[in-house]
Amino acid sequence: MFITRLVLSAMHFRQWLVAQAVFGFLSLLKVLPADPAIRWADALARKVGPKLWRHRLMLTNLRNAFPDKSESELQTIAIASWGHMGRMAAEYVFLDRLFDFDPEQTKPGRVEVSGIPLFVDLRDNPRPFIVFTAHTGNFELLPVAGKAFGLEVMVLFRPPNNPYIADKVFSFRAARMGSLVPSHAGSSFALARRLEAGGGVGVLVDQKFRKGLETQFFGRPVKTNPLLAKLVRQFDAEVYPARCIRLPDNRFRLEIEPRITLPRDARGNIDVQGTSQLLNDKVESWVREYPEQWLWYHDRWHIKKSVKDAG
């Protein structure tokens, strides 16, 4: 028992130290103007990222996804992806200041929005709907935009493993993104209640999932969470794709696309398997368009262990 307590105390202390280092780094960024801080974080991540073992995972994922690209091309994408992750960290600090979209302003701002009539329609004509996105660009800006338009969306998110960082992230997100549901065993019930009440929810659909449906992503087998399809089948919810694209000069374009038609089976019910594959296909099309803006270090294909063992 004593040994167990000692091990747990050491683990919590290590997590606390990591959290303090992260908070210190973010505090340092905060004293800088937004644009220099974002560019500096990009440059730092490009230097540090390739020295980490996750870089091997990145390159393996990229080789599997783009077998037609040369090693030089893949390295370029991987390094750029590290840069975008550095930007993501810095942008998190300045999230309040980054979203400056004003539909009445004629001068272009830092953020442009495509699909404004859809935002307005979903806000003014309440009904069950699901907005899905992926880890592309700064996906955190999407719920911020929804709240700015007065569109209340319950967002499902996966908390960081570090509990000290998770608490800080939750407080930060809740103040800027509205209703949040941490991803855990009971989260689907909270989303179901929201849809049953005629509201909207937002989900990321490109996360690693161990017990999902067998689907394809970039032509390779991958497990996909069937939650979205099951919620649609139960509540007849409308489904809208949305994404964030980073533009030059630290600018962003947020896009909400028209409602998608989901496949149905012979009885007219939502085809859960077909819908899960459709979501993967949509995300893949986004990633192929801007490959450097996706998180390639993410273990979507569940190959991390084999990559580490090979290294």
- Strand order from edge to edge, sheet including 129-133: 111-114, 251-256, 238-247, 129-133, 200-204, 153-157, 180-182
Residues whose CB falls within 8 Å of the CB of residue 197, separated by 6 or more in sequence, listed in order: none
- pLDDT of 174: 54
- pLDDT of 131: 95
DSSP H stretches of helix in 150-297: 163-177, 187-196, 227-235, 272-289
Confirm if 206 and 135 have CB atoms less than 8 A apart: yes
- Strand, coil or helix: 255: strand
Question: Can you read off the two tokens belonging to residue 34?
Answer: 């937004």
- pLDDT of 151: 85
DSSP H stretches of helix in 54-158: 54-65, 71-93, 95-98, 116-124, 141-148
Q: Are strands 238-247 and 220-224 parallel, antiparallel or unpaired?
A: unpaired
Of 87, 76, 138, which Cα lies nearest the Cα of 291?
Answer: 76
d(CA 281, CA 218): 8
- pLDDT of 245: 97
Give the pLDDT of the chain (311 residues) as one tens digit per residue.
Answer: 555 554 455 566 576 666 666 667 677 777 778 899 999 999 999 999 999 999 999 999 999 999 999 999 999 999 999 999 999 888 888 877 788 887 666 677 889 999 889 988 999 999 999 999 999 999 888 888 888 888 888 877 666 666 656 566 656 555 555 666 766 667 788 889 999 999 999 999 998 888 889 999 999 999 999 999 999 999 999 999 999 999 999 999 999 999 999 999 888 889 999 999 999 999 999 999 999 999 999 889 988 877 777 76
- pLDDT of 157: 67
- Strand, coil or helix: 309: helix
- pLDDT of 257: 95
- pLDDT of 169: 61
Domain ranges of the chain: 2-94, 100-293
Q: Tokens 């803006």 label which residue?
A: 293
d(CA 19, CA 26): 11
Dihedral sign (CA 261, 226, 273, 284):
positive
d(CA 141, CA 180): 14
Q: Which secondary-structure segment (H or E) carries 202?
A: strand 200-204
- pLDDT of 102: 75
- pLDDT of 94: 82
- pLDDT of 127: 93
d(CA 84, CA 243): 15
- pLDDT of 12: 60
